[in-house]
Structure 1
Amino acid sequence: MKTIILNKPGELHLIERAELEAAADEEAIVKIKRVGICGTDYHAFSGNQPYFSYPRVLGHELGAEVIALGGSQAIATLKIGDRVSVEPYLNCNDCQACRGGHFNCCERIQVLGVHTDGGMTEFLKVPIRKLHKSEVLSFDQLALVETLGIGLHAVNRAGIRPEDSVLVIGAGPIGLSVAQFSKLSGATVGVADMTAGRLEFIRRHGISDRSIVVKEPLTPEYIREFFGGDLPSVIIDATGNRGSMLNAFNLIAHGGKVVFVGLFQGEVEFNDPNFHRREVTLLASRNSLPDDFRKIISLMETGQIDTAPWLSHRTDFEHLSTDFATFMEPDQELIKAIIEV
């Protein structure tokens, strides 16, 4: 079967791999139809992705078709031919985190495309419980459910209320999904980014109430201009940029919450008196939960979320090795790239 493998940073190859063995009990084999390319993949390609080793088959944003089911199909929740979104977080179901329902941060988690080989391949074997079907959504839409799940989980972590003012820093796909769900929560939302094209995209599609151009490190005085003189009660940083993340402690309202959904390889440092004076709540947000997948699929099926405009670039396995680096160039005005398998 055709597979794209990242041998080392900057080196993607199209290879042939052996066909999969039959699905075991509670396993399914899916035919991969679409693969979303995300920041994790770009970081791995560039050589600066945490929790990563080479060689690796990338791909964890997956829209797929069920082609085989192991065990008794009579008790399966799926049938052959179902269209599914793949939840790529393979958790153990046994550690303390899993017993507490925190499947997204399982102590022994294996994320497809990060800790173990992912979906840039024709066929993939996964636990049946990690497949979320829809009889309505396209493979394009199903491939974006995981991206949206990251945003929804971050918004849930923040406990956003209609009376909140939310500053989302970073307008990549994760930032867009954070803004989308913050808006659905009824809050006032501003998105800050350095890229004018992304901010124009946000304005054009009504993803936030405010578009904030970042030309230099954000200051409290500048941010107050966009929130009626106040500071945001919630900041969600989706940049993975150390400077941006640490600066969030200076931009948050007293009594507010800071959520880091992006991450970097290094130490988070902040001034303790400033942190205490503001009584800031600091939260990390990692991956998403099964309920997030189900909720997002429902919202997409009912037309409350439209991801079609996000898909700015397309490629296939034959062209991916050359297209991948091109997508990273600033003049591409990339929002979201997807692979058609």
Structure 2
Amino acid sequence: MKALICDAPGRLSIADRPEPARAPGEVLVRIRHVGVCGTDFHIFAGKHPYLEYPRVMGHELSGTVEEAPEGSNLRPGDPVYIVPYLSCGECQACRLGLSNACRNIRVLGVHCDGGMTELLSVPAENVVPTGDIPLADAAMIEFLAIGAHGVKRGDITARDRVLVTGAGPIGMSAIIFAKARGADVTVMDTRADRLAYARDALRADAEVFADADSGAKVAELTGGDGFDVVIDATGAAAPIERGFGYLAHGARYVLLSVVRQDITFSDPEFHKREATLLASRNAQPDDFAEVVRQIQAGNVPTRGLNTHRGALGDGPALFQDWARPEAGVIKAILDV
């Protein structure tokens, strides 16, 4: 079978690999579509801290069942999406139902080979029927679930004024699910095109161009109060640190981003606000289910989010093109 392999930073190839043998309790899935994530671009650029090369990337996956275990509710040909977090089921986090924070987690395409290939065998509990959602749309469920999880972590309601910093795909997903809860949502970014898309396609209520005057703009928008919830999706330490200054008293700060550096903040300012700082890692099964519900309800502009498509076999050239900011990629999908 064909697979797209990142042999080393900056070097991709298409190679023939043996078809996987389905292990007991696993489902063999014929991959149909793979969403290309920021993680994949970081792997391609050599910037991912938890990876060994060579690696088959890909964790935003949809496909059809090829083989399923006896007694499974899945049948050959069934359309499915894959939850790419392989948890151990035994650590303290798993015992608490926090499989997304498993101490021994393996993420497809990062800690082990992923789905930029024709066939993949994964545990049956990680394979979920798509229902009536088209398979190309189903390849976007995972990245959307990241935003849904962050919104859930922030306990966002219709009473909240929310600021999402960073209008990349993850930030966009946070906007979508905060709006689905009825919140008033402002988006902040350094790219005017992303701000325009968030306003026009995602129904963001206000926008702030991120520059030296951002703090003053936040104060103007909120009457000096700050935001009830701030969600960071910038992926950079400096804007995360600035985000502490946008918090209202009693606010929640949700970090969808993870960075390698330490982040610092003023304890007196944070303390006097009695603010809450929340990490948001991966997603949980109910977040995936929420994405499916919102897609079915027509609240996710899947066609607009999927800006670029191409064939798996063209992956080496496409990655070079899609990695350029001027390519304007929101979500690219490889068709297998």
TM-score relative to the length of structure 2: 0.96
Q: Tell me how far apart the structure 1 counterparts of residues 287 and 39 of structure 2 sit (CA, whole Å).
A: 20
State the identity as a percent: 41
Q: Tell me how far apart the structure 2 counterparts of residues 207 and 37 of structure 1 sit (CA, whole Å).
A: 24
Deviation sequence 1:13-67 (CA, Å, 0-9, x none) = 111101112x232210001111001111111111222322222111000111111
2:154 maps to amino acid: A
1:186 equivalent among 182, 185, 188: 182
Q: Tell me how far apart the structure 1 counterparts of residues 131 and 266 of structure 2 sit (CA, whole Å).
A: 51
Structure 2: any 5+ residue segments left out of the alignment? none
Q: Tell me how far apart the structure 1 counterparts of residues 234 and 164 of structure 2 sit (CA, whole Å).
A: 9
Structure 1: any 5+ residue segments left out of the alignment? none
Q: Tell me how far apart the structure 2 counterparts of residues 329 and 63 of structure 1 sit (CA, whole Å).
A: 26
Deviation at 1:229, TM superposition (A): 4.4
2:190 maps to amino acid: M
Bigger shift: residues 165-174 or 272-281: 272-281
**Residue 43 of structure 2 corresponds to which residue in structure 1?**
44
Q: Tell me how far apart the structure 2 counterparts of residues 181 and 80 of structure 1 sit (CA, whole Å).
A: 33
CA contact (8 A) 1:3 1:16 kept: yes
CA contact (8 A) 2:172 2:202 kept: no
Deviation sequence 1:264-314 (CA, Å, 0-9, x none) = 111121122122122221010000011211222122123232311111111
Q: Tell me how far apart the structure 2 counterparts of residues 262 and 60 of structure 1 sit (CA, whole Å).
A: 18
- Count of paired positions: 336
2:50 maps to amino acid: Y
**Residue 258 of structure 1 corresponds to which residue in structure 2?**
253
**Residue 73 of structure 2 corresponds to which residue in structure 1?**
77
What pairs up with 1:129-140 in 2 under 5 angstroms? Answer: 129-140=125-136
Q: Tell me how far apart the structure 1 counterparts of residues 193 and 47 of structure 2 sit (CA, whole Å).
A: 25
For the aligned residues, what is the CA RMSD? 1.3
**Residue 282 of structure 2 corresponds to which residue in structure 1?**
287
1:16 paired to 2:16: yes
Q: Tell me how far apart the structure 1 counterparts of residues 27 and 179 of structure 2 sit (CA, whole Å).
A: 36
**Residue 305 of structure 2 corresponds to which residue in structure 1?**
310
**Residue 62 of structure 1 corresponds to which residue in structure 2?**
61
TM-score relative to the length of structure 1: 0.95
Deviation at 1:217, TM superposition (A): 6.7
Q: Tell me how far apart the structure 2 counterparts of residues 160 and 299 of structure 1 sit (CA, whole Å).
A: 16
**Residue 106 of structure 2 corresponds to which residue in structure 1?**
110
CA contact (8 A) 1:168 1:238 kept: yes
1:157 maps to amino acid: R
3-state SS, counterpart of residue 245 of structure 2: helix
3-state SS, counterpart of residue 62 of structure 2: strand
Q: Tell me how far apart the structure 2 counterparts of residues 118 and 89 of structure 1 sit (CA, whole Å).
A: 11
Q: Tell me how far apart the structure 1 counterparts of residues 49 and 182 of structure 2 sit (CA, whole Å).
A: 34
